[in-house]
């Protein structure tokens, strides 16, 4: 294992579920929150893919309606693609020019009339071999080559507007060399022969949505655990395909039970190369990086991606300020599946990590997130994780039955449509029969989270009537107004009571028969809140993200902040050691791994992996006997998290060596 940190972050800190957050990139026109001037309603695309030459040639007929009288229309098109010509429905050539960030400005022969529909034809092509010209610097979202070609909707490989908000239909015809399989959205069958020995695949998605993703590759025959589920992998991941197919079947069945029937019962899980985002979705499609197929714990990533068939594909945000509705529910859907598969304790553990991610960039309201770059850590953290926590808290407030009704009614009422935050709020209040204005005002239109403190005194009641606890819950948000559960652990049974926490000070009185031993606020963690332990988690998470972006100094600063808050944090010391190890600063790495072992032991896996990593350092520095001692200590922990014991046993037999640097 090259870096246990990378594996364990994937399993426990799924704020990184979209590696796009690791590439903040430049703000692109594609993601700008500007008022639209046109509404694209449909595409007919004829594309020819040449993997050996890394080239695409395409013709796209774009049908759209003018939302205002305009004399210039701006589309987005990958900067590496050259436009040969643009014509209107009468075949008159239109003038145009490239703008900033690969925008494409087209001037019609006469200004567009508001409310009128138009069809323009774009003829274009070019080489898609690297990230040059893409919407996110350093990240490939459109690539043509072997063994897998991917043209993701986010890669803007066709002229587009209104990323994730402007729904459209699409008929796509793709020609590829013989031996390639193509996957897209819409009815799919075997390819048909085309000119020049090529094969043509035809797709037709006739419901308004986001069907602009195409994948082509030398895939193995699809593994199909059911007639509607197909797994496409290359030969390198063929062995894991069967188990992954069964997991896909379970995930799809769970979400169908939880959310209702999707707009299509087909799902194609397709392998992606490892040099792009780890996952992406489109109608009927869930793409997953090859190194994430079959990994232990990666079913959460799969669940999150498949949840987008409902939350993102079936309904979509009206603007990027409403993105939390779909991103947040995809995250919480992932957690619901985790709870179903592994129990409530697994959900409780995962929620701690989601809380940390929700608080990491909590500086602007969720309903203002549209001003951020979609691929920034801030946007992803807010819409995925704080959005997920909004759903978790809403479930805690209204109960499971009402929560399920809210989700199903949202999907029913806005099927194949876009939804605004105000629309969701109305549905939530109608289905729960609760007045939720204070809840949404706090968590959607505000920032911050309460830091609860509890002061109380216990009095014995006369005539053997038990005990009375009189207390006060304090927190620092003046506008906070939300019921919070209080748990009173007594010498007899444990009592719970809902307390309406309003403002900074809220009093309560609870009578119990047994003497109270402990009083806890929000024992089941239904409320997003700040605590000293949570601040440590937030700092470590932000440090991990900065390290992943290449900001080593900034990452170390965050880890040291965590240690200032909790000098015994084993995880913070481990992350620091990891940085030093990767820098080949082995003495400092050993010191930090030793600090980790002397710390609080949270999480437990830090112990076994510290011994493994120290053993590697001793091997690197020529101290074989000391290395074997560390590997044996690792084995004695009996903790095989992320294959730690397997690695320790291996290096007892064969000394660890640093991999060759290219």
Name the token pair of 370: 């549209």
DSSP 42-75: EEEEEEEEEGGGTEEEEEEEEEEEESS--S-EEE
Q: 179 burial class (0-12, 13-18, 19+ CB within 10 angstroms)?
A: exposed
| Tokens coding 3 | 């870096």
The string of pLDDT tens digits covering residues 507-557 is 999 999 999 999 999 999 999 999 999 999 999 999 999 998 899 999 999
Q: 193: helix, coil or strand?
A: strand
Separation between Cα atoms, residue 97 and residue 106, nearest integer Å: 7
Residue 597: name the closest of 615, 579, 583 by CA: 615
Spatial CA neighbour of 370 closest among 420, 314, 323: 323
Confidence of residue 20 (pLDDT cuts 50, 70, 90): very low
Q: In which element (H, E) is residue 387 found? A: helix 387-398
Checking if the pLDDT of 162 tops 60, the result is yes
Which pLDDT score is estimated for 590?
A: 98
**Which of 106-110, 292-296, 466-470, 472-476 is predicted with the least confidence, judged by mean pLDDT?**
292-296
**Rounded distance, CA 422 to CA 570, Å?**
43
pLDDT of residue 492: 85
pLDDT category of residue 11 using cuts at 50, 70 and 90: very low
Q: Are strands 148-151 and 142-143 parallel, antiparallel or unpaired?
A: antiparallel
Phi, psi values for residue 498, rounded to 5°: -85, 130
pLDDT at 14: 40
Could you tell me where the beta strands, DSSP code E, fall in 344-393? Answer: none
Average pLDDT score over residue span 192-199: 90
Q: Which of 13-27, 95-109, 409-423 has the highest mean pLDDT?
A: 409-423
pLDDT higher than threshold 80 for residue 34? no
Residue 629: partners with Cβ closer than 8 Å, 6 or more residues away: 615
The token duo for 199 is: 């094969």
Edge-to-edge strand ranges of the sheet holding 223-226 = 223-226, 229-232, 267-272, 285-289, 279-282
Q: How many helices (H) and strands (E) does the chain have?
A: 17, 27
Sign of CA dihedral 620, 621, 622, 627: negative
């Amino acid at each position: 294992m090259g870096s246990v940190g990378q594996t364990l972050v994937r399993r426990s800190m799924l704020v990184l579920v979209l590696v796009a957050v690791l590439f903040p990139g430049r703000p692109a026109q594609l993601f700008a929150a500007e008022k639209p001037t046109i509404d694209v309603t449909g595409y007919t695309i004829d594309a020819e893919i040449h993997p050996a030459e890394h080239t695409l040639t395409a013709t796209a007929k774009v049908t759209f309606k003018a939302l205002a009288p305009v004399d210039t229309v701006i589309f987005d098109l990958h900067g590496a693609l050259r436009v040969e010509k643009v014509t209107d429905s009468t075949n008159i050539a239109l003038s145009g020019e490239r703008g900033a960030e690969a925008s494409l400005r087209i001037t019609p022969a006469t200004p567009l009339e508001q409310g009128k529909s138009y069809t323009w034809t774009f003829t274009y092509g070019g080489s898609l071999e690297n990230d040059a010209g893409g919407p996110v610097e350093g990240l490939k979202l459109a690539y043509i080559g072997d063994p897998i070609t991917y043209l993701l909707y986010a890669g803007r490989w066709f002229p587009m507007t209104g990323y994730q908000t402007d729904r459209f239909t699409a008929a796509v015809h793709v020609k590829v060399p013989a031996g390639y399989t193509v996957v897209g959205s819409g009815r799919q069958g075997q390819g048909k022969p085309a000119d020049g020995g090529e094969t043509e695949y035809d797709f037709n998605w006739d419901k308004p949505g986001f069907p602009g993703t195409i994948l082509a590759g030398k895939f193995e025959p699809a593994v199909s655990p059911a007639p509607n589920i197909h797994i496409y992998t290359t030969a390198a991941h063929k062995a894991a395909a069967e188990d992954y197919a069964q997991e896909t079947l379970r995930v799809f069945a769970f979400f169908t039970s939880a959310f209702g029937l999707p707009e299509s019962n087909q799902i194609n899980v397709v392998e992606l190369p490892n040099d792009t985002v780890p996952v992406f979705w489109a109608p009927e499609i869930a793409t997953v990086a090859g190194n994430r197929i079959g990994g232990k714990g990666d079913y959460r990533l799969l669940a999150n991606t498949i949840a987008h068939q409902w939350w993102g594909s079936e309904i979509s945000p009206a603007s990027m300020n409403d993105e939390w509705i779909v991103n947040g529910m995809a995250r919480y859907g992932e957690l619901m599946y985790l709870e179903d598969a592994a129990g409530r304790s697994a959900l409780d553990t995962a929620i701690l990590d989601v809380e940390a991610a929700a608080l990491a960039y909590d500086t602007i309201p969720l309903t203002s997130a549209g001003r951020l770059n979609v691929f920034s850590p801030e946007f992803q953290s807010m819409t995925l994780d704080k959005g997920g926590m909004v759903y978790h808290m809403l479930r805690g407030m209204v109960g499971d039955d009402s929560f399920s009704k809210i989700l199903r009614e949202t999907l029913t009422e806005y099927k194949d449509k876009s939804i605004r935050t105000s629309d969701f709020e109305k549905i939530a209040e109608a289905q729960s029969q609760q007045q939720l204005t204070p809840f949404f005002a706090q968590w959607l239109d505000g920032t911050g989270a309460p830091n609860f403190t509890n002061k109380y005194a216990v009095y014995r009641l006369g005539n053997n009537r038990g005990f009375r606890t009189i207390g006060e819950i304090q927190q620092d948000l003046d506008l906070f107004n939300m019921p919070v559960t209080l748990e009173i652990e007594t010498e007899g049974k444990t009592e719970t009571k809902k307390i309406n926490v309003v403002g900074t000070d809220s009093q309560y009185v609870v009578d119990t028969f047994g003497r109270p031993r402990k009083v806890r606020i929000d024992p089941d963690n239904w409320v997003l809140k700040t605590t000293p332990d949570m601040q440590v988690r937030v700092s470590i998470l932000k440090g991990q993200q900065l390290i992943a972006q290449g900001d080593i100094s900034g990452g170390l600063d965050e880890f040291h902040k965590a240690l200032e808050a909790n000098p015994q944090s084993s995880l913070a010391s481990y992350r620091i050691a990891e940085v030093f190890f990767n820098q080949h600063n082995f003495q400092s790495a050993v010191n930090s791994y030793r600090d980790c072992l002397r710390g609080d032991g949270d999480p437990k896996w830090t112990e076994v992996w510290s011994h493994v990593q120290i053993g590697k350092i001793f091997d690197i520095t020529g101290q074989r006997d000391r290395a074997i001692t560390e590997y044996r200590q690792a084995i004695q922990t009996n903790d095989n998290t992320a294959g730690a014991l397997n690695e320790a046993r291996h290096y007892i037999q064969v000394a660890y060596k640093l991999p060759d640097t290219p």
